[in-house]
Amino acid sequence: MTFLWRELTIIVLRIAHFERHSYPSCIEFTVFKLVDGTLGCKYHHYHITRMPTYDSGFMCCFKFAGDYEALQCEVSSLRISTWESDQFAVALVNSTRIRWLPIYRLHRLYIVTFYQSSIFPVVIPAPACVCPLYFLEQSNGKQRWTNRPAVLGALGRWATSPTTTIAVANEELHPYAHTPHQRPRQGFESLPLDLFIVIIQLAISLYAEFTPKYDLHALRTVNAVCRYWRWAALSSPSLWAYVSSYLPLSLLQVFLQRSGDTLLHVDLGYGNYFGDAPNPRVGDAKLLRLEDVFLSKLDIILPHSHRVRYLSLSLSATALTSARVKSRLTKFRVPALEGFQFKDNTDFHWAPSKEQAIKTAELSIVSIFQSPQLSKLHLIGISIPSASIQAASLSSLTLMAAYDVIGDAEDYLRDVLNRSTHLVSLALDIWTIRTAFQQDGWVAVEPICLPKLRRLTMQGTCIACSNVYRILSVPSITEICLKVEHSTTESATYFVPREPGGDRLRILVDEYTIKIEFLDSRTLEIRFSFTLRAHFGNGTGISGNDVLLRLLRSRNYPQVTSVDFSSSARFDTLFMPQLLSHVSLLDELSIKFISNKLPGVAEQILQIEDAIGLGMLRSTTSPLRYARKLVYQKVTVVMPQASPYLLGLCAVVRGRGRSGLPPLALEFKECNNVTDGLLRACGLKSSE
């Protein structure tokens, strides 16, 4: 940006001398003043006695000595959003105009001067704490950057034309443009920009069921690492494409501006966070103010609605029944909309009388956000007629609603799913279904064919989930996830395949989760994954390991040659033979114990002799008779009780060589009380 001023004051301001999460105590600034080609410099401190609020800015009083007049200016465009050191801002000031350029970390201040006559050096007595200055000299059609001072007295003079141009080169946008000495790029700077942006996106991404989400705090951190990272972030509109209504108004505008013309991922939320009428804890006046804030953010996003690619809309009774909110939403035009998530988080204990009005509003809003590009539709707590669901184009569908308030649940699902032939992902909530799905042994008359479905998520009673699964014909399924709290898990066996692909079996048993995965050991591609989430036993004394054995009942996997087993539930030597009875021959076995530390509760341990018995390692009929590798991870060795077991392990390893069997390699990872000295003493490690 270029300013054509003959008289110009440049202020370099540095906020410093304070700790994180505390108020700044001092502002350092240097003033450079140019009058008809004469440049002078003064250095000042300004001690802060009062720190105003986030959005109000603050007053800086600059008092100059000598020929400098007192200057008082309100830093109206400088906002302190984080309490971290070395925030800078640059002010270009003349008698009638003040312009601040906020810069988070300013390493150099570039001053551009254009000459028509010979160049004379200038004295810059700037203190070391202020960023260095670089001047662009232009003479006889040539340009060069220089920072060399000359000792000509307190002030230096330029021989200039009547018009002198000074500009601050925006090194945020061009970190290597016109630098005095080009330096070779190192580290991340040597990567192609598009690859570097992909790395940043992976670093700031959050797990989300619906749209890609970014950790905004992580994005701010990336923006402050160095000028190259900041330049990369600012030059990549896709990093600013995730826009949330929970952002302050000023930041919301910044994100929309920096996103350029990129398609947006918009998260609009007006829910229980704002309160719900007639919630007795929230007054009408406060609700009105909160609605005004939400509407002002809708007004900012509305001009960009044509760029919305993914929209997540979460509304409560207050918003759903608000005429002002509805009038704003009807103005949205979303031709590029590919994904729509609509969540009703109304608490009907607060607003039971509004139930019918809410249902009407839900249907109206769903009809607003119809798009020919729509491929993902997530309805959470929304009950609309099946005919209103744009099913034919969908690849991802989530229905988390009470189907019985609409009609027969089976008819409803059949009507929607029979039109959803392109589905790849399907999520169903069937907790509230009170139909034939709950009957044990229920059989569907006619299956629903979903030839492309790969991922299925269901939550409800285990019987209902298995009965719904029997309706579906899913030849391409590779992932199933069940949430079956407060119900028996007997029917879950139906979801575990009998002939999955993959030669590697990976099992995780945690407090409320069992995960079974079949992988290809060469590519690590997951061929099939089954996850069960439930409160195992719930007072019956049945552990997750017991449930696992029930899930694998009557299943045999002769193709599996490697097993990775991790569990947070303790077991003894009787468990592993039962688990490995479902495989034939193993090359590798890994056993890991997960210790969930709870405050005030003694940490549980799994002793090494309980992980797997020596008899199974010695047996000629065991699946481990030809095993080449055995891994113990996070198990505990308690001496002297473990001495016979460790000596027996040594005998097994040495006996392999004498019997002509493949050698068995033992590996101990993060095991408690296992040292090199102990392994040498037991003969499990050579003394070399």
Q: What are phi and psi of 245, to 5 degrees?
A: -70, -10
Please give the helix or strand (H or E) that residue 514 lies within, else none. strand 513-519
Instruction: Report the pLDDT value the prediction gives residue 4, as an integer from 0 to 100.
Output: 33
- Asked whether residue 449 is assigned to any structural domain, the reply reads no
11 and 148 housed in the same domain:
yes
Domain interval for residue 683: 561-688
Instruction: Report the pLDDT value the prediction gives residue 31, as an integer from 0 to 100.
Output: 53
CB 83 within 8 A of CB 93: no
Instruction: Report the pLDDT value the prediction gives residue 389, as an integer from 0 to 100.
Output: 87
Instruction: Report the pLDDT value the prediction gives residue 249, as an integer from 0 to 100.
Output: 83
| CATH number of 200's domain | 1.20.1280
147 and 201 housed in the same domain:
no
Last residue in a domain, options 157, 173, 203: 157
- Asked whether residue 302 is assigned to any structural domain, the reply reads no
110 and 230 housed in the same domain:
no
- Asked whether residue 43 is assigned to any structural domain, the reply reads yes
Both tokens assigned to 658: 């004498």
Instruction: Report the pLDDT value the prediction gives residue 160, as an integer from 0 to 100.
Output: 30
189 and 143 housed in the same domain:
no
Instruction: Report the pLDDT value the prediction gives residue 396, as an integer from 0 to 100.
Output: 92
146 and 193 housed in the same domain:
no
146 and 199 housed in the same domain:
no
The predicted-structure confidence for 342-396, as pLDDT tens digits, reads as follows 888 776 555 555 567 777 778 888 888 888 888 999 988 887 888 888 888 899 9
121 and 13 housed in the same domain:
yes
102 and 211 housed in the same domain:
no
The predicted-structure confidence for 286-307, as pLDDT tens digits, reads as follows 555 777 888 888 888 999 989 9
d(CA 372, CA 390): 9
- Asked whether residue 667 is assigned to any structural domain, the reply reads yes
| Tally of domains in the chain | 3
d(CA 301, CA 294): 11
- Asked whether residue 66 is assigned to any structural domain, the reply reads yes
139 and 196 housed in the same domain:
no
d(CA 354, CA 287): 17
Last residue in a domain, options 213, 239, 265: 239
Could you tell me where the DSSP H helices lie in 128-248? 193-204, 216-223, 227-234
Look up residue 617 and give its DSSP letter: H
Please give the helix or strand (H or E) that residue 320 lies within, else none. helix 317-320
> Which residues of the chain carry a pLDDT beneath 50?
1-9, 11-27, 29, 34-139, 143-145, 147-183, 272-282, 404, 436
Look up the pTM and report it: 0.68
The predicted-structure confidence for 389-421, as pLDDT tens digits, reads as follows 888 889 999 988 755 456 677 788 888 898 988
Instruction: Report the pLDDT value the prediction gives residue 226, as an integer from 0 to 100.
Output: 81
- Asked whether residue 596 is assigned to any structural domain, the reply reads yes
